[in-house]
Structure 1
């Protein structure tokens, strides 16, 4: 992971949208959004929209997962917590999904496309001048 930290930003140019993902049953991954991922994107891709995505929502009510979290005196991340963080960090929106059940998965990609096609007013000139009109790259 640390070896890749220096190389990762090299993949950011020409990216149209980012998905910052965390597991709703892993509070540490939720914390990393604010501490690691958002600062990195704001430094290397400040004008690119990003979505905050809560993953593994199928485990939010799973008894084994809840017991494990309870043993660590933790709880799953609530929808409201995700929405609050999304607003705080300037995400385009907050969405949740489960790869296992595919719940919310289409919404994640639909919202990513909408974020690309809905540029911020202060970045319109730059986005039009630097982006391919008929293509998108989801990194």
Structure 2
């Protein structure tokens, strides 16, 4: 991640919003975008991959991934991991409505 403020906003704004509307059982992957800008960013302004990974773990995310839409670096992995996380959700328990009647 290029900007530490972005990580802070993820922790304080976006993750609580996701949990509020989607629930705690929905898998979340923290994705750092604009990875192509890391080389030009000042060292003290960057969030290291390890620090972002640790923050993702502390937030309860499945993992941290980084990508660049400009260079396509890591982009396929982000979509592959999102797909795998999505099909790994136990749909029966997470989205199942309570039965309207029971047969005894």
Give TM-score, length-normalised by structure 1. 0.62
Which of 9, 25, 34 is residue 2 of structure 2 equivalent to? 25
What CA distance in whole angstroms lies between the structure 2 residues aligned with 1:105 and 1:125?
30
Which of 78, 93, 102 is residue 126 of structure 1 equivalent to? 93
What CA distance in whole angstroms lies between the structure 2 residues aligned with 1:61 and 1:128?
42
Could you say what the CA RMSD is over the residues aligned between the two structures, in angstroms?
Answer: 1.8
Output one character per residue of 1:42-101: Cα deviation in whole Å (capped at 9) or x when no partner.
Answer: 111112211100111111111xx32xxx7xxx4211100111011111112111001111
5 Å-filtered alignment, 1:37-116, equals: 37-46=14-23, 47-62=25-40, 65-66=41-42, 74-116=44-86
Give the C-alpha shift of residue 36 in structure 1.
Answer: 0.5
Unaligned regions of 5+ residues in structure 1, if any?
Answer: 1-23, 131-139
What CA distance in whole angstroms lies between the structure 1 residues aligned with 2:16 and 2:94?
21
Output one character per residue of 1:115-135: Cα deviation in whole Å (capped at 9) or x when no partner.
Answer: 01112xxx55323637xxxxx
Output one character per residue of 1:30-50: Cα deviation in whole Å (capped at 9) or x when no partner.
Answer: 110111011111111112211
Max Rg structure: 2
> SS of the counterpart of 1:94?
strand
Task: Count residues with an aligned counterpart.
Answer: 96
